[in-house]
């Protein structure tokens, strides 16, 4: 019996490529699924629009048009991971944009100072809501619903029902500006090429480092062939995206802002103590408290951070419009929530990534842009986006039930 067991163990084949790939896909089903969905949507509209979708000008417009939603989606993803929701972000973005407009246009405050004051206003607003939610135990739905009404009314009061404009050129550049031209004149934007090369090197080194760490822990890694294929896909994506941007005006400033937020908050949620505590609270708050997690402080900081990001999104949107308007921010919270759920957030909390929020926002952005290019009416666009959101959440519920069974 022992000999046969030993012989059977010795004759067991090593894990096949298919089984390793299947386990990797199951472990990241939502993120990989949304990446595949995004690629298919891009391909569909690229064909449907006769190649207009991936024109350099349209790619730049896509980034600038959706930058503020992607900023909001990052903060919303963190709030949802903590097991909460924020309905006030659109109104807060409008309020901060209005406050910045009044400071710059009516009181002639230098735009960098106005931006700093606006971000502090956002932080205070987020902290105020976080206090009611974290320390007084009022549900976030109620507190942020009240905040939505309060900040919307405050916007109307600040602007007195009228738009305030124009803004200084420096402030406008945070939404519509680009990296400057440097070096000799070529057919491409030189600084963008250098930045793309740096991003590619960092991405490849990060993949190699992650593979070595995984192997050092004795965990299963992708077979070498699949890993090289993954590196090839990453390289192709970075090169194509870099050349598209470099063939127009280069990297938009708002893309640099998004890149810094993605790297910073991605690292924070993956590697920091407060990031792990946020996941723990969203997954099981009672167990997290028993483990010594200071849940109230974490929730308070999550909403304070959301306030800062809402303020930043409001500034980017105001800079794009070159005006503070009473109608700014309408439905921004719905777009941000939809981006987070499409990007892999769970309605029950404890699940999601910052990269997933960006992917979800891009899915919505490409849908909006592509449907506009082919002449789909706004009424049908709303229907399609609603069905996409429902499908994403339904997919999450289905995976949970299958895992439970």
The domain boundary residue, chosen from 219, 251, 283: 251
Bridge partners for 164 per DSSP: 324
How far is 316 from 322, CA to CA, in rounded Å?
10
Region of 218 please: left (phi>0), alpha (psi -120 to 50) or beta.
left
How far is 355 from 279, CA to CA, in rounded Å?
15
Q: Tell me: do 240 and 320 sit in the same domain.
A: no
Q: Tell me: do 186 and 154 sit in the same domain.
A: no
Q: Tell me: do 233 and 171 sit in the same domain.
A: no
- Residue 185, pLDDT score: 80
Q: Tell me: do 160 and 216 sit in the same domain.
A: no
- Residue 13, pLDDT score: 45
- Residue 8, pLDDT score: 44
- Residue 20, pLDDT score: 56
Burial tier of 290 (Cβ tally within 10 Å: 0-12, 13-18, 19+)? exposed
Q: Tell me: do 264 and 211 sit in the same domain.
A: no
- Contact partners, residue 369, CB within 8 Å, separation at least 6: 45, 53, 58, 61, 62, 65
Reading the block at residue 190, the tokens are 């030189």
Q: Tell me: do 226 and 356 sit in the same domain.
A: no
Low-confidence ranges of the chain (pLDDT < 70): 1-31, 396, 399-400, 403-405
Considering only CA atoms, which of 242, 247, 258, 253 is closest in space to residue 177?
253
Domain residue limits at 233: 178-251
- Residue 218, pLDDT score: 84
Asked whether residue 354 is domain-assigned, the answer is yes
Region of 50 please: left (phi>0), alpha (psi -120 to 50) or beta.
left
Asked whether residue 4 is domain-assigned, the answer is no
Q: What is the pLDDT of residues 267-326, one digit of tens each?
A: 999 899 999 999 999 999 899 998 899 999 999 999 999 999 999 999 999 999 999 999
Number of compact structural domains in the chain: 2
Bridge partners for 324 per DSSP: 164
How far is 385 from 380, CA to CA, in rounded Å?
9
Q: How many CB atoms lie within 10 A of CB 157?
A: 12
CATH of the domain at 376: 1.10.3470
Q: Tell me: do 355 and 290 sit in the same domain.
A: yes
- Contact partners, residue 138, CB within 8 Å, separation at least 6: 132
Q: Tell me: do 277 and 332 sit in the same domain.
A: yes
The domain boundary residue, chosen from 202, 220, 251: 251
Q: Tell me: do 215 and 239 sit in the same domain.
A: yes
Give this prediction's pTM.
0.90
Q: Tell me: do 288 and 220 sit in the same domain.
A: no
Asked whether residue 10 is domain-assigned, the answer is no
The domain boundary residue, chosen from 251, 271, 300: 251
Q: Tell me: do 123 and 63 sit in the same domain.
A: yes
Asked whether residue 50 is domain-assigned, the answer is yes
Give the DSSP letter of residue 53: T
- Residue 30, pLDDT score: 60
Backbone angles phi, psi at 23, to 5 degrees: -65, -40
Asked whether residue 13 is domain-assigned, the answer is no
Considering only CA atoms, which of 198, 142, 340, 355 is closest in space to residue 269?
355
Q: What is the pLDDT of residues 166-180, one digit of tens each?
A: 999 999 999 999 999
Specify the 3-state DSSP secondary structure of 252. strand
């Amino acid at each position: 019996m022992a000999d046969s067991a030993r012989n059977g163990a010795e004759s067991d084949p090593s894990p096949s490529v298919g089984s390793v790939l299947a386990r990797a896909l199951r472990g990241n089903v939502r993120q990989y699924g949304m990446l595949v969905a995004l690629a298919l949507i891009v391909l569909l509209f690229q064909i449907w629009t006769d190649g207009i979708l991936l024109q350099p000008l349209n790619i730049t417009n896509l980034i600038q048009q959706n930058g503020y939603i992607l900023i909001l989606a990052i903060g919303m993803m963190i709030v949802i991971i903590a097991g909460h929701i924020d309905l006030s972000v659109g109104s807060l973005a409008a309020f901060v944009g209005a406050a910045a407009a009044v400071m710059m246009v009516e009181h002639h405050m230098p735009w960098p100072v106005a931006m700093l004051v606006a971000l502090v206003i956002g932080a205070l607003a987020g902290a105020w809501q976080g206090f009611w939610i974290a320390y007084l135990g009022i549900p976030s739905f109620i507190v942020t619903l009240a905040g939505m009404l309060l900040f919307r009314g405050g916007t109307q009061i600040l602007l007195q029902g009228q738009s305030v404009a124009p803004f200084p050129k420096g402030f406008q550049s945070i939404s519509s500006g680009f990296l400057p031209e440097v070096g000799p004149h070529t057919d491409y934007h030189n600084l963008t090429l250098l930045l793309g090369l740096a991003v590619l090197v960092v991405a490849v080194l990060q993949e190699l480092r992650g593979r070595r760490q995984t192997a050092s822990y004795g965990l299963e890694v992708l077979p070498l062939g699949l890993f090289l294929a993954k590196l090839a896909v990453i390289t192709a994506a970075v090169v194509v995206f870099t050349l598209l941007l470099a063939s127009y005006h280069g990297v938009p400033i708002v893309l640099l802002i998004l890149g810094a937020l993605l790297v910073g908050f991605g690292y924070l949620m993956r590697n920091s103590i407060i990031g792990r505590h946020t996941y723990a609270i969203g997954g099981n708050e009672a167990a997290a408290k028993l483990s010594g997690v200071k849940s109230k402080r974490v929730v308070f900081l999550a909403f304070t951070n959301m306030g800062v990001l809402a303020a930043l999104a409001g500034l980017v949107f105001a800079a794009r419009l070159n005006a503070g308007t009473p109608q700014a921010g309408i439905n921004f919270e719905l777009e941000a929530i939809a981006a987070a759920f499409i990007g892999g957030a769970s309605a029950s909390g404890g699940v999601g990534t910052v990269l997933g929020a960006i992917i979800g926002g891009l899915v919505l952005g490409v849908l909006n842009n592509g449907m506009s290019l082919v002449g789909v009416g706004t009424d049908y666009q709303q229907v399609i986006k609603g069905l996409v959101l429902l499908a994403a959440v339904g997919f999450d519920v289905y995976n949970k039930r299958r895992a439970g069974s």
